[in-house]
Chains A and B, each alone.
Chain A
């Protein structure tokens, strides 16, 4: 089984809908991240969490919210989806004990907002 899983893998939705993307990990890592990737823009950090009680905004958090339900689960919500949130979304984890912050990514969720 994959160490970092994301659901759904693909989602098409309409403007104004609320969407939740879920991430689960079995690596036992404390740190979890949400990124979005757009062609030509690379990976951009949306939110990150260093433990269950710690949530931090990344560089592009507007329009998104997150919930860290447990050490192994980190969800990303789009309260009211808009077309420019169409992108590939990745969850990642890293080990708090690893000062290099090497990250392990999930397979991604392709989100299309019409």
Chain B
């Protein structure tokens, strides 16, 4: 089964800067990869999906890249704002037709 790795250390970033998070996976490359946002004590919320044949996907200030050679996805928040402070989870197909989630990476945007 897939192993999904996200940085366990929180990313502290100054407001206005770009936050970049990494999601690495082992084994085979999935057909798609998803990113979710989770606020403390609340359920994850779907943000973006990128397919294996897409190098980059954007949604407002969010950008996701997918490199199947490196087995890695990068998640960028440009012009970060304090309201972007949350934990971000990547998720991908675990090989048995189910989604597997990473443990998440916390972002703290400092005003």
Please, which residue of chain A has its CB at the minimum distance from the CB of B91? Answer: A103
Chain B: number of interface residues, binned into ranges? 20 to 34
**From A48, A103, A107, residue with most partner B Cβ within 10 Å:** A103
Chain A: number of interface residues, binned into ranges? 20 to 34
User: What are 12 A-B residue pairs whose CB atoms fall within 8 Å in the complex?
Assistant: A43-B89, A45-B98, A48-B98, A92-B43, A100-B34, A101-B97, A102-B49, A103-B44, A103-B46, A104-B46, A105-B43, A108-B41
When the two chains form their complex, are residues A105 and B98 in contact, meaning their CB atoms are under 8 A apart?
no
Please, which residue of chain A has its CB at the minimum distance from the CB of B99? Answer: A101
When the two chains form their complex, are residues A101 and B93 in contact, meaning their CB atoms are under 8 A apart?
yes
| Stretch in contact with the other chain, from B19-27, B59-67, B73-81, B101-109 | B101-109
When the two chains form their complex, are residues A102 and B41 in contact, meaning their CB atoms are under 8 A apart?
no
**From B32, B43, B89, B97, residue with most partner A Cβ within 10 Å:** B43
In the bound complex, residues from chain B placing their C-beta under 8 Å from that of A105 are 43-45
Q: How far is the CA of A37 from the CA of B104 in the complex (A)?
A: 11
When the two chains form their complex, are residues A90 and B43 in contact, meaning their CB atoms are under 8 A apart?
yes
**Complex interface residues of chain B between 31 and 71 (CB less than 8 A to chain A):** 32, 34, 41-46, 49
When the two chains form their complex, are residues B32 and A100 in contact, meaning their CB atoms are under 8 A apart?
yes
When the two chains form their complex, are residues A103 and B99 in contact, meaning their CB atoms are under 8 A apart?
yes
Q: How far is the CA of A107 from the CA of B104 in the complex (A)?
A: 18
**Complex interface residues of chain A between 52 and 107 (CB less than 8 A to chain B):** 88, 90, 92, 94, 100-107
**Complex interface residues of chain A between 6 and 50 (CB less than 8 A to chain B):** 40-43, 45, 48
